[in-house]
Amino acid sequence: MGIPQFKEVRRAYGFDDVAIAPGSVTINPDQTDIAWSIGDHQFKIPVIASAMDAVVSPDTAILFGKIGGLGVLNLDGVWTRYEDAREVLAELTSAPLDKATPLFQNAYAHEPVKEHLIGDCVRKIKKSGVICAVAMTPQSTKRYAPIAVEAGADIIFVQSTVTTARHISKSYRGLVFSELVESIKVPVIVGNVVTYGATLELMETGVQGILVGVGPGAACTTREVTGVGIPQVTGTMDCASAREEYFRKTGRYVSIITDGGIRTGGDLCKVFASGADAAMLGTPFAQATEAPGRGFNWGMATPHPALPRGTRIKVGTKAPLEQILFGPSNVTDGTMNLISALRMGMSMVGALTLRDMQQAELVYAPDIKSEGKVFQMQQGRN
């Protein structure tokens, strides 16, 4: 057109936009290796439960650990604000939806976090013998992190909607990640991030992992409210590019953990095909029989007093956690037996390890138009 271009608009992809191409080699699913590690901690499965109050309680953190994964406890939520968090959860999940948002705003603003409850939670988890991970916002980190580590926490997640290595604030001296990493002796995982540049800068602070995902989760409306967000496939690919670049330069391998929007085995496979080292899931685990959310889920930005960016959604209760992860599945939509689905996806791609799976070919093939599906929509399923 000859018009000077104001800015380039790059194509970004989400889970429903892409499909994985099978490989030229196939392998038996039971030969796939899906272990991963962070620092000295090894996990049998590359799946982490989100630091959401409806997903991870001290009890389910223990359950996730025993099963071979990791559940991250939210230190800014109900478990550290209330002696009897279950009562509060019962209230939050029984109110009608049109009254839920103010109730949430109130439940989180009313009661402060209590330091002794942080210690209690961590000790309870550690006592069971599993690895203990806790999450907090950057604002809370200087206060909560030492308490949690002192009580025995093994991994610290520092998490806000968007986190960078350079935060500008007048009101308080921002958290300096390089100081945090040095001062506490456990691995630090930071997020959320979706861009190459921010990931590279955060890696340079010495953190051990990066959480990828702004705007994608089922319980999150950040993109509606602020317009900010990157679909998960592109977000993961860009952050994985930063990991490769950083690894090439320094020899240190920092994990990329995709967080949010993963509902099916297909999504889980795509996370790794996009370059992730592990995946953080909320909603699928909120559907577990053992989940504290009693069939509901909500994001950490839901209770924001002035600008809530999330909502309580009914997710239903599906099956015990172990069945959701390892099957057997009695549904065919990919929402159960996630780990077998990952192994089967890897087997079709010919990926022996998760690192191999990162090399899988992706195509842009929006699911909404995929053949057969239209037929099913038209005919219904009997």
- Site for its own copies, residues 87 to 116, rule: CB under 8 A: 97, 101-102, 105
Question: Stretches 2-10, 82-90, 110-118, 119-127: which one binds its own copies (CB under 8 A)?
Answer: 2-10
Q: Which is nearer to its own copies, 147 or 180 (CB)?
A: 180
Which of 110, 75, 112, 107 has the alpha carbon at shortest distance from 91? 107
Determine, following the binding rule CB under 8 A, whether residue 20 of this chain makes contact with its own copies: yes
Stretches 53-61, 127-135, 167-175, 176-184: which one binds its own copies (CB under 8 A)? 167-175
As a whole number of angstroms, the distance between CA 107 and CA 137 comes to 18
By rule CB under 8 A, what count of residues binds its own copies? 143
Kindly state whether residue 234 participates in binding its own copies, applying the rule CB under 8 A: yes
Residue 201, classified by CB atoms within 10 Å of its CB into exposed (0-12), middle (13-18) or buried (19+), is: middle
Would you count residue 9 as binding its own copies (CB under 8 A)? Answer: yes
240 binds its own copies (CB under 8 A): yes
Would you say 80 or 335 has its CB closer to its own copies? Answer: 335
**3-class DSSP state of 199:** helix
Assess 258 for contact with its own copies (CB under 8 A): no
Is the Cβ of residue 156 or residue 218 nearer to its own copies in the bound state? 218
Contact 212, 276 (CB under 8 A): yes
Cβ-count burial of 355 within 10 angstroms (0-12 exposed, 13-18 middle, 19+ buried)? middle
**Residues whose CB falls within 8 Å of the CB of residue 181, separated by 6 or more in sequence, listed in order:** 188, 205, 206, 207
What is the Cα–Cα distance from 297 to 244, expressed in whole angstroms? 34
Distance of alpha carbon 320 from alpha carbon 188, whole angstroms: 30
Please report how close the Cβ of residue 333 comes to its own copies at its closest, in angstroms: 5
The single residue listed with the structure tokens 């930063």 is 242
Q: Considering only 53-61, 126-134, 148-156, 349-357, which stretch makes contact with its own copies by CB under 8 A?
A: 349-357
For residues 260 to 299, the per-residue mask of contacts with its own copies, x marking binding by CB under 8 A and - elsewhere, is xxxxxxxxxxx--xxx-------x------------x---
Q: Which of 294, 341, 290, 296 is CA-nearest to residue 320?
A: 290
N- to C-terminal Cα separation, the chain: 52
**173 part of the interface to its own copies, by CB under 8 A:** no
CB 211, CB 51: distance < 8 Å:
no
Closest distance to its own copies from the beta carbon of 208 (Å): 20
Query: What's the min distance (Å) between Cβ of 178 and its own copies?
Result: 16
Q: Which stretch binds its own copies (CB under 8 A): 65-73, 83-91, 125-133, 358-366?
A: 358-366
337 near its own copies (CB under 8 A): yes
Residues 6+ apart with CB under 8 A from 193: 162, 163, 164, 199, 202, 210, 211, 212, 214, 239
Q: Name which of 135 and 342 has its Cβ closer to its own copies.
A: 342
Q: Is 176 in the site for its own copies (CB under 8 A)?
A: no
Closest contact distance (angstroms) between CB of 103 and its own copies is 10
224 binds its own copies (CB under 8 A): yes
279-291: b (≥16 Cβ within 10 Å) or e = bbbbbbbbbbeeb
Region binding its own copies by CB under 8 A among candidate stretches 11-19, 66-74, 76-84, 114-122: 11-19
| DSSP letter for each residue of 60-93 | HHHHHHHHTSEEEEETTSHHHH-TTHHHHHHHHH
- Should residue 302 be labelled a site residue for its own copies when binding is judged by CB under 8 A? yes
Is the Cβ–Cβ distance between 356 and 27 less than 8 Å? no
Using CB under 8 A as the binding rule, whether residue 1 contacts its own copies is answered as yes
Q: Using the rule CB under 8 A, is 230 a contact of its own copies?
A: yes
Select 251 or 376, whichever has its Cβ closest to its own copies.
376
Q: Which of residues 48-67 bind its own copies (CB under 8 A)?
A: none
Residue 377 is a binding residue for its own copies (CB under 8 A): no
Is 341 a binding residue for its own copies by CB under 8 A? The answer is: yes
Rule CB under 8 A: say whether 372 interacts with its own copies. Answer: yes
CB of 214 to its own copies, least distance (A): 6
